[in-house]
Structure 1
Amino acid sequence: MNTEVVTLHVENDVATITLNRPEVKNALNQEAHEQLYDAFEEADERKDVKVIVLTGSGDAFCSGADLKAVDLNDIENFNYGRVLRETYNRLITLMSHIGKPIIASINGIAVGAGLSIALACDYRVANKEAVFGLGFLKIGLVPDAGASYFLPRLVGYPTALELALKDTFDVNEAKSIGLINSIGELDTYVERCKKLPPTAYRLMKENFRESFDHHLAEVLEREVTAQREASESKEHRMALAHFVNKKSR
């Protein structure tokens, strides 16, 4: 994939998607949204991709929506709801349904919708210079792009409300509250994810996501269905044979 504002590079079973607007801290405009969606879709479909890594160019992960793209002279006719449905909601829905592990490599500032996109990834690994923030209330808006769903689930409802009061916070606080998984261990997470059984991981991810919206009995039935499919996968059959042969020695 050869683009200017989003790049996709595949090597050693890993697809690295890079937001490439360093001059605006990788803020997302319409073009970036379209190319980011296409990059995730391609990475999901490619057989030579086991893990997807999302990162930013320069010293930023993503500074959120490119507010400079909004025409202030026509602000009365700017439909925020329509824009959300056509851009962020479409992207977050795709990311949540991708069965492959998605790792956010947070290499700098991740604020606003930029933070929201990181929250939608399966894992978040940050460098020591990373800075986080919601930022929505500062401009009279509510958290969007899935932040209302993912943030309370990751850090808890009271902490999510507390973060809304903050300006920005550093990587150590992000780690202490469970917002990120690790500081500076991207390669470790990539290698772990590459070894995951793809069928079982996809089914686990679906069950975890759906468990919040279903009763226990329904979740148990989902596990029955998922386990049946996982047990028929080649990775399970190979692992089982390896385990039995090892025990019989």
Structure 2
Amino acid sequence: MGDRVRLGVTDGIAHVELTRPEARNAVDLPMCTELCEAFEEVDADEDVRVVLLSAHGPVFCAGADLKERTGKDAAWVRRRRVASFAAYAAIERCRRPVVALVQGAVVGSGGEITLAADFAIAAEGTVFRFPEPHWGTVGATQRLQRAIGKRKAKELLFTNRPLDAADALRLGIVTQVVAPDALASTGAETARDIAKAPPLAIALTKRAVDLGGETDLDRGIRIEMSAIEQCLADGGWRDGVARFTNGDGR
């Protein structure tokens, strides 16, 4: 891994951090590659229970680094876009829950990274923008509409209007807004809460929600029943019953 993304694991919590603050954490080709590598490493580590995805500096991500495209041909840009899709998919496919902690500007690719996480917590003052059409390209057309609906996604993409943290919370792009100095501690507390649950149950829950969202209710129930069967076969559910019986009702 290079100097664009930092990965560390402490007490079962993986910390994946964008570390290009001098460029406002703009996404370039090396960052795409390093994000893929980081999440592949996380998925291979059986000790990891949850991932916190954050960024160093005052800006979470200023979007794609358009400067790196200077002098490049269409074929190069196409390969670069495919690399970014691979990075978002690596975040989304992670078997562990991924919680994004965002602050400052969250633009274009930064929004895609946020939406690829399972959910996101924002600092007050965070502002989202999805300016791809205004840059003469296309992006954020799929995850954004799935998160907030087609009509609102079109409005944000067509107009390039900023979306503040309160509106992002209302629309469901983020699930919580906290004071800037509480972002890291809130993320850590959330990660600890997730890490308390049996990892198989969490992984199967994540998969059931993701797959169920792509189908009808009847098939979704069958997906959930399949997950329940895996939990029953594993036997870990007995530990949950024992904890509840012993007074730990959480």
Question: Does TM, scored on the shorter chain, surpass 0.5?
Answer: yes
Given that 2:212 and 2:223 are in contact with CA atoms closer than 8 Å, whether structure 1 keeps it comes out as no
Q: Alpha-carbon deviation of 1:81?
A: 3.6
Q: Deviations for 1:193-248, whole angstroms, at most 9, x for unmatched residues? A: 222322122112222222233333322222221110022334312012333566xx
Q: What is aligned with 1:42?
A: 41
Q: For the structure 1 residues 174 and 216, does the alpha-carbon distance in structure 2 shift closer, same or farther, using more than 3 Å as the test? A: closer
How many residue pairs end up in the alignment? Answer: 240
CA distance in structure 2 between the partners assigned to 1:59 and 1:224 by the alignment: 44
Per the alignment, residue 168 of structure 1 pairs with: 162
Contact 2:17–2:55 (CA under 8 A) maintained in structure 1? yes
What is the alpha-carbon root mean square deviation over aligned residues? 2.1
2:177 maps to what in 1?
A: 183
- 2:125 matched to 1:132? no
Shift of 1:161: 1.7
Letter in 1 for 2:117: C
SS in 2 for 1:103: strand
8 A Cα contact 1:59 1:107, kept in partner: yes
Residues 133-174 of structure 1 deviation map (CA, whole Å, 9 limit, x = unaligned) = 11111112122xxx3332222222222122222332221121
Distance 1:79 1:208 in 2: 36
CA distance in 1: counterparts of 2:211 and 2:63, whole angstroms: 27
1:47 Cα offset (Å): 2.7
Deviation at 1:192, TM superposition (A): 1.9
Aligned-pair identity in percent equals: 28
Q: 1:149 to 1:234 in 2, by over 3 A?
A: farther
Q: Which residue of 1 aligns with 2:194?
A: 193
Runs of 4+ in 1 over 6 A off after TM superposition: none
Paired with 2:137 and 2:61, the residues of 1 have a C-alpha distance of 18
Give runs of aligned pairs for residues 206-225 of structure 1, distance below 5 A. 206-225=207-226
Counterpart CA distance in 2 for 1:151 and 1:17 is 22
- Paired residues of 1:111 and 1:134 also in contact (CA < 8 A): yes
Q: Match of 2:181?
A: none
TM-score, normalising length: structure 1: 0.87
Q: Any gaps of 5 or more consecutive residues in structure 2?
A: 179-185
Unaligned runs of 5+ in 1: none
Amino acid at match of 1:161: K
Instruction: Please state if 1:83 is matched with 2:80.
Output: yes
Q: Output the TM-score relative to the length of structure 2.
A: 0.87
Cα gap change, 1:225 to 1:151, in 2 (>3 Å): same
